[in-house]
Amino acid sequence: MWRRQHALLRRISLLKPPAATGIGCYYATEPEGRKPKTAPLQSRGMVDRFRLRAKGGDGGNGCISLRRSRSDRQGKPDGGNGGRGGDVILECSRSVWDFSGLQHHMKASRGANGISKNQIGTRGSDKIAQVPVGTVIHLVEGEQPSLSVNKATRALDPWDIPDAVEHSPFSSSRIGNKMMKGLDSSRSSQHISSKKNTAENDRERGNRNHREKEPCYMTEFVRTEDYDGTSYPRQVRVDENDQSDDEDDEFWEDDEEELDMEEVTEEKEEEEDVRYSVAEMTKPGQRLIIARGGEGGLGNACILKEMWLSKAHKEEEMASLSTGHPGTETYLILELKSIADVGLVGMPNAGKSTLLSALSRACPEIADYAFTTLRPNIGSLTYEDYFSVKVADIPGLIKGAHENRGLGHAFLRHIERTKVLAYVLDLAATLNGRKGVPPWEQLRDLVVELEHYQEGLTKRPSLIVANKIDEEGADEMYEELKKRVQGVPMFPICAILQEGVPDLRVGLRDLMDASDPQGIELSKIVVD
């Protein structure tokens, strides 16, 4: 009790009075000398490239078991199949910014082993990792990731529902035999026995001798081709008393809802092993299976009776069939390429972050020293007609960035997808005794660096933002810049006072809508 009161008093002592806050309410402050647990987003480095090894869960082993009775001395095979291993899935989400929350090794759970009385092992749980929108996947080793539909594809099949509960809809006695035909009711995490359900059905009908009324199930194997062409055996149960198999087939066909990778873009292999850009994750909620769980091994209930009876020759074969398949393994490189319409490029201190905050509601860190921006910032610029444009501000580029000077040019990947480039030039870099670079040289260096990063990048629709027009002597500098650079729209602005920003907004919109806009050519920049 005393401790609780003490803690309460301590908390109250951390509250500032209304007079101090000026907004008429109390708020808690961190005690002096103690740092907050997590640094603000802006001061944290960005993990935008990540190496990931993933392994799907192994399939559970099938069970070899015989059920003997007085009437059947030889025994009837009743070993259940092993459960399928879980998949490793990447999910595209707006709630994550980079890859800092990921683990380098990810493994999904193994499927459970089958057991006697036709009880099938549960499916291993999937491992799901969230990645930011704009993630590009490069494949180093393993099979190509495949897009997965966001909804449960086999919603009605407990075999494939990770950690399915005992109260599966199929364990209900209301389900008739016809429904049961296509679905092995024993496929649930808690090993529900199909025999038991049948008995329950029969009991409901008032038939005590339910064994005689049992539907006559035959187990058949069908070779099925997977999305990638690999074939595997699939168990299909056929009721000999009911010949209408069409519904069953349809049911299984519905399972194959995995989409072809239409969006996958394969580029030329630049290096020997890495296959670049095998998949992109651009829509929130989109899912990608990067490692598949192995199929479960077959229980002897699925293996034809003759095969079981003549076990002298088939033991080895059975052992291999009953062993669960291992899950697939992949080794990937994840890269984040932000998705924005306009990219702001400029030298450090040119005023890119200030401009972004003037154009949108983004609040990037602004300071009068170089390389304040350590990670890309994205703001949304909305027009009166609700047309919205995403603007990306990336860390400053300096001459020689392609040789890893400054922050290097790795951040340029964040403007790779932009439609329009806005070159932010500092008109005051050489004014008032500053030892900077004149704006036209800034422009030339930026163009050279962009071309070093990716040939043809500067051919994108571009405009020039001549910032800091409020500084003394900036007007003359702007006039000089206009003489030295031609063929590109130019906007003199003062980002800090938001002067010229409305015109720039219109200019950006025009450039987005223009039919044949032009990029910047190095030959059209006159430098001493």
Ligand X SMILES: Nc1nc2c(ncn2[C@@H]2O[C@H](COP(=O)(O)OP(=O)(O)OP(=O)(O)O)[C@@H](O)[C@H]2O)c(=O)[nH]1
Which of residues 197, 353, 360, 458 is near ligand X by CB under 6 A? 353
431 binds ligand X (CB under 6 A): no
Q: Which helix (H) or strand (E) holds 157?
A: none
Q: Is residue 348 near ligand X by the rule CB under 6 A?
A: yes
CB 332, min distance to ligand X, A: 31
Q: Which of 274, 366, 431, 512 binds ligand X (CB under 6 A)?
A: 366
For the CB of residue 526, give the shortest distance to ligand X in the complex, in Å.
24
One-letter amino acid at 247 equals: E
Considering only residues 484 to 523 of the shown chain, the ones binding ligand X according to CB under 6 A are: 494-496
Which of 161, 401, 467, 477 lies at the binding interface for ligand X (CB under 6 A)? 467
In angstroms, give the least distance from the CB of 433 to ligand X. 15
Give residue 274's Cα distance to chain centre. 19
Strand pairing of 231-239 and 217-225?
antiparallel
Q: Cβ(275)–Cβ(269) under 8 Å? A: yes
Give me the least distance between CB of 424 and ligand X, in Å please. Answer: 6
Phi, psi dihedral angles at 55 (to 5 degrees): -135, 125
User: Which token pair is 331?
Assistant: 């080794």
Q: Sketch the per residue contact string, 204 through 233, with ligand X: x for CB under 6 A, - otherwise.
A: ------------------------------
Spell out the alpha helix ranges (H) of 323-411.
352-359
Q: What is the nearest approach in angstroms of ligand X to the Cβ of residue 344?
A: 8
CB neighbours of 435 closer than 8 A, spacing ≥ 6? none
Q: Is 211 helix (H, G, I), strand (E, B) or coil?
A: helix
Can you tell me which of 367, 506, 522, 527 binds ligand X, judged by CB under 6 A? 367
Q: Return d(Cα 79, Cα 246) in angstroms, integer.
A: 27
Torsion angle, CA of 17/21/27/32, rounded to 10 degrees?
-90
Q: What does residue 251 show for φ and ψ, rounded to 5 degrees? A: -60, -45
* Nearest residue to 343 via CA among 379, 385, 306, 296: 379
CB-based burial label for 282 (10 Å; 0-12, 13-18, 19+): middle
Q: How buried is 151 (Cβ within 10 angstroms: 0-12 exposed, 13-18 middle, 19+ buried)?
A: exposed
- Applying CB under 6 A, the site for ligand X has a residue count of 24
Determine, following the binding rule CB under 6 A, whether residue 377 of this chain makes contact with ligand X: no
Beta pairing partners, 442? none
Q: Which is nearer to ligand X, 111 or 395 (CB)?
A: 395
Binding mask 406-425 for ligand X (x = CB under 6 A): --------------------
Token couple for 137: 């996947």
Q: Which of 188, 373, 458, 462 touches ligand X (CB under 6 A)?
A: 373
Q: Nearer to ligand X by C-beta: 93 or 372?
A: 372
d(C-alpha 190, C-alpha 206), whole Å: 27
Stretch of residues binding ligand X (CB under 6 A), selected from 220-228, 238-246, 277-285, 350-358: 350-358
Q: Among the candidate windows 26-34, 48-56, 139-147, 463-471, which touches ligand X by CB under 6 A? A: 463-471
C-alpha span between 240 and 214 (Å, rounded): 11
250-265 burial code (b ≥16 CB/10 A, e <16): ebeeeeeeeeebeebe
Please say whether the beta carbons of 464 and 488 come within 8 A: yes
Q: How far apart are CA 235 and CA 151, in angstroms?
A: 23
Nearer Cβ to ligand X (274/366): 366
CB of 491 to ligand X, least distance (A): 12
Residue 281 CB, shortest distance to ligand X, in Å, is: 28
Q: Kindly tell me which residue out of 351, 406, 438, 507 binds ligand X, with binding defined by CB under 6 A.
A: 351
Determine which residue in the list 122, 354, 442, 462 makes contact with ligand X, applying CB under 6 A. 354
| C-beta closer to ligand X: residue 122 or 373 | 373
Q: Binder to ligand X among 197, 198, 349, 458 (CB under 6 A)?
A: 349
Q: Which of 399, 478, 502 is nearest to 445 (CA)?
A: 399
Choice between 183 and 429, CB closer to ligand X: 429
Nearer to ligand X, 130 or 372 (CB): 372
Q: Closer CB to ligand X, residue 348 or residue 400?
A: 348
**Shortest reach from residue 475's CB to ligand X, in Å:** 13
Q: Shortest CA distance to 489 belongs to which of 467, 525, 524, 461?
A: 461
Q: How far is the CB of 442 from ligand X (least distance, A)?
A: 11
Task: Tell me phi and psi for residue 237, to 5 degrees.
Answer: -100, 130
Per CB under 6 A, the list member of 79, 395, 406, 438 interacting with ligand X is: 395
Least spacing, CB of residue 524 vs ligand X, in Å: 24
212, 270, 368, 528: which one binds ligand X (CB under 6 A): 368
Instruction: Name the site residues for ligand X (rule: CB under 6 A).
Output: 346, 348-354, 366-368, 370-373, 395-396, 467-468, 470-471, 494-496
